[in-house]
Structure 1
Amino acid sequence: MSQRVGVIGGGQLAWMMGQEAQKLGVSFWVQAAHSDDPAVSIAENSIIAPLSDLEATAQLAENCDVITFENEFIDQSGLSRLRDRVAFRPSLASLAPLLDKYEQRCYLQELGLPVPAFKTVIAGETEFPVEELPVVAKVRRHGYDGQGTFIIPDQWSLDQVWETLKGEQVLLENFIPFESELAIMAARGVNGETVTYPVVETYQRHQVCQRVIVPARISETLEAEIRAIAQTILSALDWVGIFGIELFLTEDHHILVNEIAPRTHNSGHYTLDACDVSQFAMHLKAVTGETLTAPQMQAKAAVMVNLLGYESTENQYLDKRQQLSSLPNTYVYWYGKTQARPGRKLGHVTVLGESIAQASAIADQVSEIWYPHDDN
Structure 2
Amino acid sequence: MSTPQIIPPGSTIGILGGGQLGRMTALAAARLGYRCLVYAPDEHSIAGDVAAGYVRGDYDDTDALARFARRVDVITYEFENVPEAAVVACLEHKPVRPGVTPIHVAQHRLREKQFFATLGIGTADYQPVRNEAELAAATALPGILKTCREGYDGKGQARVHDRASLEAAWERLGRRECILEALVDFRCEVSAIVARGLDGAMRCFPIGLNDHRDGILHTTTVPADLAAETLATAERFGLALAQGLDLVGLVALEMFVTQDGTVLANEMAPRPHNSGHWTIDACATSQFEQLVRAICGLPLGPVDVTAPSRMENLIGEEATDWLRYLADPSARLHLYGKASARPGRKMGHVTFVQPAASSRRSTT
TM-score for the superposition, normalised by structure 1: 0.87
1:370 matched residue in structure 2: none
Paired with 1:287 and 1:66, the residues of 2 have a C-alpha distance of 7
Contact 2:40/2:58 (<8 A) preserved: yes
Q: Is 2:125–2:140's contact at 8 Å kept on the other side of the alignment?
A: no
Q: List aligned pairs for 1:59-74, cutoff 5 A.
A: 59-74=67-82
Aligned to 1:334: 335
| Alpha-carbon separation, structure 2, partners of 1:160 and 1:209 | 27
Alignment correspondent of 1:92: 100
1:346 paired with 2:353, answer no
Q: % of aligned pairs identical? A: 31
Q: 2:314 aligns with which of 300, 307, 315?
A: 307
Letter in 2 for 1:26: Y
- What is the CA-CA distance between 1:150 and the residue it aligns to? 2.2
Is 1:228 the counterpart of 2:236? The answer is yes
Of 9, 29, 42, which aligns to 1:34? 42
Give secondary structure in 2 for the equivalent of 1:41: coil
CA gap of 1:204–1:123, structure 2 versus 1, over 3 A, is: farther
Aligned pair in 2 of structure 1 residues 167, 191: CA closer, same or farther (>3 Å)? same
Q: TM-score, normalised by structure 2?
A: 0.90
Pairwise CA distance, 1:32: 2.3
Equivalent pairs counted in the alignment come to: 348
1:115-134 correspondence to structure 2 within 5 Å: 115-122=123-130, 126-128=134-136, 132-134=140-142
What is the aligned partner in structure 1 of residue 193 from structure 2? 185
The residue identity in structure 1 corresponding to 2:20 is Q
- Indicate yes or no: 2:24 matched with 1:16: yes
**Equivalent residues in 2 for 1:87-236 (5 A)?**
87-122=95-130, 126-128=134-136, 132-154=140-162, 157-236=165-244
Deviation at 1:127, TM superposition (A): 3.3
Alpha-carbon distance, 1:261 to partner? 1.0
Residue pair 1:305, 1:349 contacting (<8 A) in 2 also: yes
Q: Which deviates more from structure 2 when the two are superposed, residues 194-203 or residues 142-151? A: 142-151
1:29–1:46: 8 Å Cα contact kept in structure 2?
yes
Q: Match for 2:57 among 49, 53, 73?
A: 49
Q: Unaligned stretches of 5+ in structure 2?
A: 1-8, 357-364
Q: CA deviation at 1:294?
A: 2.9
How big is the alpha-carbon RMSD for the aligned residues of Structure 1 and Structure 2? 2.1
Give the aligned partner of residue 368 of structure 1.
Answer: none
Contact 1:123/1:166 (8 A) holds in 2: no
**Cα pair 1:91 1:239 within 8 Å, conserved:** yes
Deviations 1:286-326 (A, max 9, x none): 00110213311111x10011111269xxxx72xx1111211
Partner deviation per Cα, 1:201-229 (whole Å, 9 max, x = no partner): 11111211011111111122222222111
1:80/1:130 Cα in 2 relative to 1: closer, same or farther (>3 Å)? closer
